[in-house]
Structure 1
């Protein structure tokens, strides 16, 4: 991913949140301005390029005595105690007064046990980028009763080396200065002030921004400020107070009081799940970043690229086919690996080196794709995106840290396609390739000064099309066939699942769903998987003999009275949304991806069983559009009025976005009405009078879902969605 070091730094600082972790995003190292962000300092520890400086407190930071007095009794009353450590005070201050921002952290933690004293002595850690940032220790004091023991000059320092991030397949340059304080005892508190100056030498020309990660434990007093030119700073959160901080400067107070970590609300948009994470920026426009990145992604048509382009051109005449062939080359032939040391977090590796090693990260793969397309006389642009926050980027301050990935944009016949060469190989025509909805992105071309909504092209087919056929006998047994066709991004997901789990294990998962749904199921031959790459479809097929669940009361089943009561339902299209408890919930529900599912069921009835009445219905809400229909049919050659079966069809299209409680409740009502009509009871009559086993009904209509207690009352399906009895919201 792009700038993977940033993610590693964030993870490290969040892990150190209890000791006042901070994330820093801009400026180059340097301690030379006596009245600037950091005062003159001296190196107190060194290991190669890794250095730790000691410097006095900068002039813009609030005095330490003022901070201690502000905590007062609040600190002792509100501080959390974890494993004997009591977090009395944490301060986080950001300086944006010049082109080299500083993030300063000050914390006061007390040891209430002997083992906690051992932890306290070694808990201070400062992640930083050697060669780009400076790690600074301003003060380290042991507080023992009324005595203050300054041990700043006596701390022992150990540097941790960069390591491999197995999760992101990346090697970052992040180091860590680990401080050990001498003489810490039970009952002592330590007051430590550390800072990191700068971000990366390549961004300090235009990006003045910073971000703060909140503590990971409850703190008696937590103070967060940002100091910089008056009126020039933008923030991701509200300001609680503004203070004058000098000539032309202001201090924005973002938090000042007790702090308790907040668990993110499930189903909320990622940009709302901040957990106290704040972004502050002085960057006025996206244009400097777009101009800089555009230069880095200029096509590099080497002899190797020309050879690849010739091969593609000889094999494909159509422009669209050449685009997909170039994309598949970058996906298939270049293994993903990120080396983010030095400038590698920002600058793509050269095309020649990428081809020589047959490996690269998203930057290298995107530059290669753009170069191949250029050799084919097809223009393409790099696009900076964020894999999780994309739909909310337009709500955040301008900062180079807003992105963690890069893809390519190509226009073809008036439609923009957003191609991701870091994905596994994607088969199919250009119009059938799966697209992830990245939300907002920055097209890196000269003069671009605004984000662009990266709307995925409309797919030509549903993400899932399921067709099932039942030829029913009077006892509820049936000849059964099913054909699942996953398309687009869903086909990519299914291929990856089959690859990681093994094809047979993947098929077994779907077989278990049917085994749960039916009373009996025997598929001969066994389920089959077929990858139709020309259409970018992944198909699953089932064929065999099954028996539907008899939903009559147990006494009726034992007595053999009447015909079995069975239910037919288009189960794949029954759940466009999940049911989410709305009690005590204020946040809107977020749906991240669009989805289109269609399920068609053809039922051939035994002699004497009448088909249900035909109907058509549409339910349109802000969250989804849902269509239903039922149409009787006759056997070939039979009179038109001699109906012998029916086709039940249900389809939904889910719309991504954030939805309020009112919109959710409106959709609940529509879904309740749709579910009430989607279950067809055979051989006739209403199901409510015969349901005795809620779990059996759930299994028959929605395989794999647990029984919902609200169905125990024997009412028709849909009663769990009664918003009057069970406050719920819905989300994808």
Structure 2
């Protein structure tokens, strides 16, 4: 599927996306299709727009030295033409570079780009800067690092003699909609941005009207009839900038948004999808032989499902050549099998056809990898999906969901991890609504640390056992396979070097992979020359702090007392962290137990001291119980976080002359949550081991 999702659109609002694309990685190649820029007068159907050269905007809120005075977006649906006009004022020297660089993206396989004007307005004088000879039309691939190639090109030019105070005013039209939609139109528009805007204007020209839905705005369109068109017009003047906060849920529609579509219901979408996924070509003899081999080597349906999934996941590499209609229509299974690569829809359809040959019901299913339940709030349109997976119904009518684009997965067909997409639309023309997908993964990580402090000088050993389950096991399995052995060992050792001086591996780690239950275990063995460190604020003492680091990377600790937007949390996920410390001699210690439970998380900290054996055992458990913190729940969430801080970890310390001092809890010593940010920075290298960036190639 074409990689379009709302969160991406919110981060790169259309007026930025269409004018200046910064930090782009280009694939340079000889152009085919449209190799030059066309010019013409503005189409007669376009409604002229005025704008204020000096809108009432606080200049200190302007970002990167550029103020957008006008963002004009007009769509003629019957003509399949999209007209854009953008006027930007350069307010300081940092804006000269961005304001003088023009990039416009289009797909030459079905679109034609025509410029109408590029003017620089300086002290009331209009300077014509449109010269098609100065443009370059080059291949650009934003998703090349994810093995996705959409065939788009960029028409780019750099304007000469652009100065602070200039207004750069340009207009152009892109003709052509993707023919896969058969003339139907869907899109998202935004009436605001994260930075100030002078004016936003949106006009839709239709023959028979269009369905629309508003989000975070009550601004209804002005509907009129003009030249045989039914038009919808939204205009805002100096809208209030969106207030950005960290951890805003990626699936939430936060900006004032307009969703438009020609589709009337989801049945029309499934009918459309069924038609483009339809394949009448007989399976090749080579593909049939592969299916026969799977059938003969596996007795049960479950084993056959596993074998097909393993083949498609691991032997059909992920690569998307999504040009034109190829961004939606899958390639024939024979072609995918022969070339041994495909994107999400190619791999999904191949898996479906192989299972059907084995008399197992299977269907492609459209999902959005980000939107979760927000997809239910959107009007019907195929534009709002960015991924394709597979739904399987076995002979006992058990429903199962699989993502054939994932690799290095383990587990049986019953416990194979499936991402928390929440909702999916099955590609079957009889389907009228979404499947609700309940994730069966807890994504738990268990850490067991065993310290043995040999003497008061601080010589110690540390043994660590980490158990990864579900997607965490899949991720770590991928990291191990794709990282050099020495580098992997260094990353593990460097993690504990952030906590202890002079730590080294006593012997190589031991890795146990229990694939049937999708569990991966890593055992580590360290020697520590001196576990003690100088104690903060008490120079005559030395100490060692024990922190359940496994919990740090899943719990958000907000540093503000109030919120305007919800907070996104990792979900579903849970962590266990047990630390056992063998002390060198008798010690004084008071056991403790703290439990915090709310709708958002459950936390249990239990620290016990075995006087007979001089052993401290600290058990910590944290489970995230919902994917976000609502604004109405923030104050109570913040209060519980403050309580959690007081029982997070513990410290033992002694005088420098080794006189024994009682054990001290972190309630009296270091506040670990105040130093979480520093810890996370210091351990950024190991974060790459725990969480590789696979992006789950869609």
The two structures have a TM-score, normalised by structure 1, of: 0.75
Check conservation: 1:80, 1:220, Cα contact below 8 A: no
Shift of 1:464: 0.8
Aligned with 2:379 (options 380, 390, 397): 397
- Deviation string 1:545-601 (CA, Å, 9 cap, x unpaired) is 44543676887856xxxxx86555544236641222225641111124311212233
Note if contact 1:331-1:423 (Cα within 8 Å) is conserved in structure 2: yes
Tell me the equivalent position of 1:43. none
Asked if residue 204 in structure 1 is aligned to residue 182 in structure 2, the reply is yes
Distance 2:95 2:534 in 1: 61
CA distance in 2, matches of 1:703, 1:73: 44
Once residues 618 and 223 of structure 2 are traced to their aligned partners in structure 1, the CA distance between those partners, rounded to angstroms, is 69
Structure 1 residues 57 and 298: alpha-carbon distance in aligned structure 2, compared to 1, 3 A threshold: closer
Distance 2:581 2:158 in 1: 74
Please name the residue that 1:57 is paired with: 43
Change beyond 3 A, Cα 1:415–1:464: farther
1:197 Cα offset (Å) = 3.8
The corresponding residue for 1:169 is 147
Q: Which residue of the partner structure matches residue 350 of structure 2?
A: 368
Equivalence map 1:556-567=2 (5 Å): none
CA deviation vs aligned residue, 1:254-284 (integer Å, no higher than 9, x gap): 4421368657432102244767775432422
Asked if 1:670 is matched to 2:652, the reply is no
Per-residue deviation at 1:117?
10
Q: Give the 3-state SS of the residue equivalent to 1:581 in structure 2.
A: coil
CA offset at residue 473 of structure 1?
Answer: 4.3
* Helix, strand or coil at the partner of 2:73: strand
Aligned match of 1:265 in 245, 261, 267? 245
C-alpha distance in structure 1 between counterparts of 2:34 and 2:554, whole Å: 56
- Residue 434 (structure 1) aligns with: 417
Counting only pairs closer than 5 Å after superposition, residues 486-505 of structure 1 correspond to structure 2 as 486-505=468-487
Question: In structure 1, the residue corresponding to 2:634 is in which secondary structure?
Answer: helix
In structure 2, C-alpha distance between the alignment counterparts of 1:471 and 1:119, rounded to whole Å: 59
Does residue 312 of the first structure (1) align with residue 294 of the second (2)? yes
Distance (Å, rounded) in 2 between the aligned partners of 1:522 and 1:84: 50
After TM superposition, give the deviation of residue 77 of structure 1 in Å: 8.7
RMSD over aligned Cα, in angstroms? 4.7
CA distance, structure 2, for counterparts of residue 570 and residue 76 of structure 1: 48
Say which of 624, 627, 631 aligns to 2:604.
627
Q: CA separation of 1:365/1:517 partners in 2, compared to 1, >3 Å: closer, same or farther?
A: same
> Aligned ranges for residues 567-646 of structure 1 at < 5 Å?
568-573=546-551, 576-582=554-560, 585-604=563-582, 608-609=586-587, 612-613=590-591, 615=593, 618-630=595-607, 645=615
| Aligned match for 2:426, one of 424, 427, 443 | 443
Offset from partner CA, 1:484-534 (integer Å, 9 cap, x none): 111211122223333444233233222222223235534321334444434
Structure-2 separation of matches of 1:557 and 1:12: 52
Q: 2:499 corresponds to which residue?
A: 517
Quick check: 2:87–2:170 contact (8 Å CA) kept in 1? yes
CA distance in 1, matches of 2:459, 2:420: 43
Q: Distance in 2 between matches of 1:611 and 1:149?
A: 80
Deviation at 1:483, TM superposition (A): 0.7
Residue matched to 2:2: 3
Paired with 1:517 and 1:54, the residues of 2 have a C-alpha distance of 66
Superposed, 1:38-187 pairs within 5 Å as 52=38, 54=40, 56-59=42-45, 61-62=46-47, 64=48, 67-68=49-50, 70-71=51-52, 73-74=54-55, 87-96=68-77, 98=78, 102-109=81-88, 125-137=103-115, 156=133, 158=135, 160-164=137-141, 165-177=143-155
Aligned-partner Cα distance in 2 for 1:557–1:598 = 34
Structure 1 window deviating more from structure 2 (263-272 vs 684-693): it is 684-693
Distance 1:654 1:101, change over 3 A: farther
Q: 2-side partners of 1:143 and 1:221: how far apart?
A: 18
**Aligned positions, number:** 656
1-structure distance, mates of 2:479, 2:509:
16
Change (3 A) 1:555 1:236: closer
Matched, 1:287 2:255: no
Q: Is 2:5–2:370's contact at 8 Å kept on the other side of the alignment?
A: no
* Mapped contact 2:65–2:90 kept (Cα < 8 A): yes
Structure 1 residues 691, 673: closer, same or farther in 2, change over 3 A?
closer
* 1:449 CA displacement: 2.8
Q: Which residue of 1 aligns with 2:365?
A: 383
Counterparts of 2:63 and 2:503 in 1: how far apart (Å)?
54
Instruction: Say which of 644, 651, 659 aligns to 2:629.
Output: 659
Contact 2:188 2:257 in 1 (8 A): no
Distance, in Å, in 1 between the alignment partners of 2:464 and 2:94 is 62
DSSP-derived class of the 2:428 partner:
coil
Distance in 1 separating the partners of 2:502 and 2:97: 62
**Structure 1 regions of 5+ residues with no counterpart?**
23-45, 559-563, 635-641, 708-732
Q: Offset at 1:433? A: 2.6
Distance in structure 2 (CA, Å) of the matches to 1:373 and 1:568: 51
Find the residue that maps to 1:267 and give its secondary structure. coil
Report the secondary structure of 2:450's partner residue: strand
CA contact (8 A) 2:573 2:623 kept: yes
Say if 2:444 is the partner of 1:463: yes
Q: Match for 1:222 among 200, 203, 207? A: 200
Q: Give the drift of 1:408.
A: 1.1
Deviation at 1:621, TM superposition (A): 1.5
Moved more, 483-492 or 660-669: 660-669
Equivalent residue, structure 2, for 1:506:
488
C-alpha contact (below 8 Å) 2:39/2:132 kept by paired residues: no
Q: TM-score, normalised by structure 2?
A: 0.78
Q: Provide the rounded CA distance (Å) in 1 between the counterparts of 2:390 and 2:168.
A: 50
